[in-house]
């Protein structure tokens, strides 16, 4: 088992290591208090109830929209059968029902949504930068409702690759039902702690894993990475299943514009009611969710292909005047 784990380590040139950040003792203590208070508001307890069982786990409010990352305890089929209810307990001990948005079975993590948690997310990472080994970070966890525990950690150079994810081992292991958060000195959420990451060959009795925040957002594409600029097209679209037979490789959904906001990017580009959205920067638009994600990753100057009265037209989009960019 240990040999298998060691075989996963990335072979790379030595990485520069920085000296631990030096802070005056008084300033350091104040920083710890502030981060502890901030983390406490972003950690939750989640309960999964069925007719004959109850399971609980810790969760992290991952953004200010009310999304929570939690170890998987139920699946979509159970939700659709209405055989399970999910409740999230906020930091003030108030409980609210949650909906299951997505699950990643391979890594054993689920994404929940609770409107009452809006605005309580951990401080977003302002810029996605490489993690420098030797940098001081703080880890927080609240195992099944206990007071959030804070530990200091040093970013390790011993990262390794598993699939498309770069993980970093931590010296101490969290309980199996626990999940934690990692903040930098600015109080920004830079990752989560996950004991097993749902991968049997990585399950070590004395080890948890630091999962960088970009990996979390890659696992759940429903989330908008805060380090990406906001891209708002300014349209409302109706999504309907195509009635005609389509090759399996082509989109089965038709996205038709039903409203255009005045002064929006879409309005400036002369998008009209009834236009069908086909592709963005050459990539087919699969669904409204796919369009939302594709917009976040699109450059300031983009190309949108539409169908108008059955005729293909390529429009130029410019997000330079988008007020959300400033």
**pTM (two decimals):** 0.61
Distance CA 229, CA 196 (A): 32
8 Å CB contact between 66 and 15: no
Q: Where do the domains of the chain lie, and which CATH numbers do they carry?
A: 41-117 (2.40.10.10), 235-325 (2.30.42.10)
Q: Which residues contact 79 (CB under 8 A, 6 or more apart)?
A: 99, 100
- 8 Å CB contact between 280 and 286: no
Torsion of CA 128, 129, 133, 138, to 10 degrees: -40
Q: Retrieve residue 39's tokens.
A: 């983390």
Residue 123 tokens read as 């401080």
Tell me the average pLDDT across 40-45.
Answer: 83
| pLDDT at res. 159 | 63
Could you tell me the pLDDT band of residue 1, with boundaries at 50, 70 and 90? very low
Instruction: Give the integer Cα–Cα distance in Å for 20 and 27.
Output: 15
The residue ranking higher by pLDDT, 186 or 302, is 302
Q: What is the per-residue pLDDT across 243-261, written as a single tens digit (0 to 9) for each?
A: 555 544 445 678 899 999 8
What pLDDT digit, counting tens, does each position of 197-217 carry? 555 555 555 556 777 887 788
Q: Which of 154, 162, 144 is nearest to 203 (CA)?
A: 162
Helix (H, G, I), strand (E, B) or coil at 77: helix
Q: How far is CA 291 from CA 28, 168, 235, 258, in A?
A: 44, 32, 11, 15
- 236-265 exposure pattern, b = at least 16 Cβ within 10 A, e = fewer: ebeeeeeeeeeeeeebeebbbbeebeeebb
How would residue 274 be classed by pLDDT, with cut points 50, 70 and 90? Answer: very high
Under the banding of pLDDT at 50, 70 and 90, the label for residue 91 is confident
Question: Are 284 and 269 in contact, with CB atoms under 8 Å apart?
Answer: no
Q: pLDDT grade, residue 237 (50/70/90)? A: confident
- Tens-place pLDDT, residues 116-136: 999 888 888 877 776 666 667
Phi, psi of 80 (to 5 degrees): -65, -30
CA 122 distance to own-chain centroid: 12
Place of tokens 């420098």: 132
Share of the chain above pLDDT 90, in %: 17
**Chain mean position to CA 66:** 11
Please classify residue 289 by burial: count the beta carbons closer than 10 Å to its beta carbon, then call 0-12 exposed, 13-18 middle and 19+ buried.
exposed
In this model, does residue 316 exceed pLDDT 50? yes
């Amino acid at each position: 088992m240990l040999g298998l784990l060691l075989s996963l380590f990335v072979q790379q040139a030595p990485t520069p290591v920085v000296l631990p950040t030096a802070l005056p003792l008084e300033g350091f203590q104040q920083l710890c208090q502030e981060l502890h208070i901030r983390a406490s508001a972003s950690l939750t307890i989640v309960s999964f109830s069925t007719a004959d069982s109850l399971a609980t786990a810790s969760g992290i409010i991952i953004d200010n929209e009310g999304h929570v990352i939690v170890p998987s305890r139920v699946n979509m089929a159970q939700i659709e059968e209405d055989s399970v209810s999910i409740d999230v307990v906020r930091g003030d001990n108030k409980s609210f029902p949650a909906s299951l948005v997505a699950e990643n079975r391979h890594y054993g993590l689920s994404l929940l949504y609770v409107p009452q948690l809006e605005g309580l997310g951990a401080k977003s990472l302002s810029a996605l930068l490489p993690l420098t080994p030797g940098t001081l970070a703080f880890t927080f966890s609240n195992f099944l409702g206990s007071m959030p525990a804070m530990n200091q950690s040093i970013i390790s150079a011993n990262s390794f690759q598993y699939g498309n994810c770069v993980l970093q081992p931590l010296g101490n292991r969290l309980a199996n039902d626990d999940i934690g958060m990692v903040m930098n000195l600015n109080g920004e959420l830079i990752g989560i702690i996950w004991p097993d990451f749902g991968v049997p060959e990585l399950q070590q009795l004395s080890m948890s894993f630091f999962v960088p925040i970009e990996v979390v957002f890659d696992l759940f594409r429903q989330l908008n990475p805060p380090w990406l600029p906001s891209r708002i097209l300014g349209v409302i679209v109706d999504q309907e299943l195509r009635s005609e037979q389509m090759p399996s490789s082509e989109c089965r959904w038709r996205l038709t514009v039903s409203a255009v906001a005045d002064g929006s990017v879409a309005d400036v580009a002369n998008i009209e009611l009834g236009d069908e959205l086909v592709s963005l920067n050459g990539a087919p638009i699969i669904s409204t969710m796919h369009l939302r994600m594709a917009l976040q990753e699109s450059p300031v100057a983009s190309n949108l292909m539409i169908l108008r009265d059955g005729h293909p037209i390529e429009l130029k989009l410019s997000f330079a005047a988008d007020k959300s960019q400033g």
